[in-house]
Amino acid sequence: MPKDVPFSDAGRGNVENYFKQGKAAAIINGPWVLGEYAASGVNYGLAPLPKLSNGKSIHPFFGAKGYVISKVSKNKDLAERYLAFINSPKYALLRYESIAELPPIKEVLNNPLITNDDFANAIASQVEQADIMPYIPKMAAVWGPMTEALATIIRDNKDAKAALDEAVAKIHDN
């Protein structure tokens, strides 16, 4: 972030705009925004998150898409055929080509189109260190306290351990 920007303006949208305008040197984000960055014309690259001072890797969350067929579906056979169709190697590769979504099919991941893509390699490297995002309502209790803790660490120079311990206590209270 530019030094003259107040922390209160450091919301996700503002930070992304600063990055796309070349006013922020780096941003931590996910592959879903790569199209926006490319469209903005900003010169960017990808790199895995750095290791901590103790040598351990940072474990960000990552999300994955899945498909389900309702047990009350009246067209289960058709739904199963559709899922087989869109998850075939041919269409998984087409999805990668159109929206840069890494496919969960090893055969496709080994395609030279993907193995020779620096962005795909950087994303795959980070995913190896990531934990699956829990998609449960209880996660709503995490985001507020963690955002507040990070803000007080950055904005107020609060001791990181103290701020994070407070956040954990608030999460457990929720």
The pLDDT of residue 172: 93
> Would you say 58 and 125 are in contact if contact means Cβ atoms under 8 Å apart?
no
Is the pTM value of this prediction over 0.85? Answer: no
The pLDDT of residue 5: 60
- Counting as low any pLDDT under 70, the low residues of the chain are 1-12
The pLDDT of residue 9: 60
pLDDT, tens digit, for every residue of 88-104?
999 999 988 888 888 88
The pLDDT of residue 71: 92
Q: Which residues pair with 62 in a beta bridge?
A: 132
Q: Which two tokens stand for residue 105?
A: 């099919």
Which residues does 57 contact at the CB level (< 8 Å), separation at least 6?
Answer: 49, 51, 129
The pLDDT of residue 6: 60
